A and B are shown apart, each in its own frame.
Chain A
Amino acid sequence: MSHQLRGKAACVGMATTGMGEAPSRSAMDLMAGAVLDALEDAGIPLAEVDGVFAANAVHSMASMSLSEHLGIVPVISDNSNVGGSSFMQHALLAATALEAGLINVAVIAYGSNQRSAGGFQGVSEPLPYEAQFKPRNPITSYALVTSHYLHRFGVTREQLAEVPVAARAWANLNPEAFMYDKGPLTVEDVLAARMISDPLGKLDCCLVTDGGAAIVMTRADRAKDTRHTPVHLLGAGVAHYHRMISTMPDLAVTAATTSGERAYAMAGLTAADMDSVQLYDAFSINTLLFLEDLGFCAKGEAAEFIKGGHIAPGGGLPVNTNGGGLSCVHPGMYGLYVMIEAIAQIRATLDGAPAPRDVGGWVPGTKLALAHGNGGVLSAQATTIWGAPETV
């Protein structure tokens, strides 16, 4: 028997705004603007919104601030914050509240003007048993895991560099990507970039951009009447094993192992069923770890798996087709963009609408897409699986 939440909620509207640089727009301007754009995309009036889910680095009670700004009196107001994977968790909670009949229209929103406001904005408090040693988190934690991974599996920085190289190749096909028209990237470029925290150089690290984003979710019955073909949430799972990197149980195994199992179980699907795969690539190592932990290849074999452009445009498995956090957009917490790319790939296929990008920059025929979020220091993992109506 299939899970009671499988396919019951769907994304019916979505929007991104201010991707890259949005000078003179605040985080709230971006977040609230994206919500209105997404509602317009769905063809649903603002007055019908009764579920508000939001998290960002500047509003400690983001759903309250957003609701006030837009004049919403929500039935469910949720700021749950598990870092960059918050939005996948919001999607699971929204689907639950929709199915329970508590709410009818949910919005999930994010906004950040960090780039225009002066640089990276973290959400983390100093971690009590680590801060004294002056880690520059998040990068220090990711660098430590990368050092362990490379050593343990005999992987080189050259092999790891295939991740940003593939991401840039996708970005070069996406006019919305921050690194679009910045030219291709080579393995040599990645290796020659300034070292930030060994073994991670500048091009192993995500962008620091602005950006707002939002999606609208309703129950599947309501979704039939909206402007676009609905894209259904078939499965979702969240998990975290640790908060501080020193407490991560196995430095080469993330909680994506568990969140993925939960999402696949709800959806009744496996990695092999996915037509496109969107993984939160805050740093190059993420893509290797998540490909393994989500079952696309065995532990320790991701470098071999991605070799020769396997996850790049034209390769065997389309991964991070927008260019990812490494080359498309990364406004601090990138998870909502990960889901939007997964949903966009499916929706473009269904509407018979003009291709969203030039040939090669998207994956025609995508019916099933996985969107995986990561939060903290490889801590909070959240996996969502989205599908076309025929997959429900």
Chain B
Amino acid sequence: MTDVAEATGPEAQYRAYLAEGRFMIQKSRSSGQYVFYPRVAEPGTGARDLEWVAPSGLGRVCATTVTRQRPETGGDYNIAMVDLDEGPRVLSRVTGMAPEEVTIGLRVEAYVDDLDGAPAVLFRKVEGAQ
């Protein structure tokens, strides 16, 4: 994995941050808009003034599914999309609960962990949140 300091392209930089255990997204200096996934410019304006920022990590589930799979091949797993508080939407998994218990509107927080040998941004329920 390339170091953050050495990575030049946005995808390489994103993955380098992830390898350090950090979930980073981009923000345009001129518009103030947050951007995810990582790009060379803000979509729509083409502004090339994106800088890396750490999001709050908080968000809300806006869509969820249970991928059905036989137990012998790994069993069912969740895939969900989360609207980050900063605006962008992320596809990931909500962990720490049964896949069918993940509901739309659930308050979640991001964490970085290993998924099948690579660092990934995953989400878990925020306890006590509405």
List residues of A whose CB falls within 8 A of some B CB: 128-130, 132-136, 140, 143-145, 147-148, 151, 194-200, 244-247, 251
Asked if residues B81 and A245 are in contact (CB atoms below 8 Å), the reply is yes
Interchain CA distance A133-B93 in the complex, whole Å: 7
Measured between beta carbons, the chain A residues less than 8 angstroms from B93 are 133
Q: A129-B37, A145-B63, A245-B91 are in contact. Are A196 and B118 (CB under 8 A)?
A: no
Give every chain A residue within 8 A of B64 (Cβ-Cβ): 144, 147, 198
Kindly state whether residue B68 has any CB partner on chain A within 8 Å.
Answer: yes
Q: Which of B62, B79, B92, B105 contacts A140 (CB 8 A)?
A: B79
Alpha-carbon separation in the docked complex, A195 to B65 (Å) = 11
In the complex, how many residue pairs between chain A and chain B have their CB atoms under 8 Å apart? Answer: 75
**Sampled A-B contacts (6; CB under 8 Å):** A132-B120, A133-B91, A134-B77, A136-B67, A197-B66, A199-B65
Provided the pairs A143-B65, A198-B65, A246-B81 are in contact, do residues A133 and B104 lie with their beta carbons within 8 angstroms? no
Q: How far is the CB of A124 from chain B (nearest CB, A)?
A: 14
In the complex, which residue of chain A has the Cβ closest to the Cβ of B93? A133
16 more contacts with CB within 8 A, not counting A132-B116, A247-B89, are A133-B79, A133-B120, A134-B79, A135-B79, A136-B67, A140-B65, A140-B67, A143-B65, A144-B63, A147-B104, A197-B68, A198-B68, A199-B65, A245-B91, A246-B81, A246-B90
Given A133-B92, A135-B79, also A148-B65 (CB < 8 A): no
B100 an interface residue at 8 Å Cβ cutoff? yes
Chain B interface residue number, banded:
20 to 34
List of 3 A-B pairs having minimum Cβ-Cβ separation, nearest first: A144-B63, A143-B65, A246-B91
Interface residues of B in 78-126 (CB under 8 A from A): 79-81, 89-93, 100, 104-105, 115-116, 118, 120
Known A128-B11, A135-B91, A246-B91; judge A251-B63 contact (CB<8 A).
yes
- Given known contacts A132-B120, A140-B79, is B89 in contact with A246 (CB within 8 Å)? yes
Residues of B within 8 A of A200 (CB): 65
Contacts of A247 in B (CB 8 A): 37, 89
Q: Are the C-beta atoms of A144 and B66 separated by less than 8 Å?
A: no
Give bound CA distance, A129 to B39, whole Å: 11
Q: Is the CB of A147 within 8 A of B115?
A: no
Q: CB-CB < 8 A to B11: which residues of A?
A: 128
Name the distance in Å between B110's Cβ and chain A's nearest Cβ.
13
**In the complex, A132 Cα to B114 Cα: how many Å?**
11
Q: Are A198 and B63 in contact (CB-based, < 8 A)?
A: no
Shortest CB distance B81–A (Å): 6
**Nearest chain A CB to B62 CB, angstrom units:** 6
Determine the chain A residues whose CB is within 8 A of the CB of B90 once the complex forms: 129, 246
- B67 adjacent to A197 (CB under 8 Å): yes
Chain B residues positioned under 8 Å from A194 (CB to CB): 68
Q: Is the CB of B91 within 8 A of A129?
A: yes
Q: Which of B63, B64, B115 has the most CB of A within 10 A?
A: B63
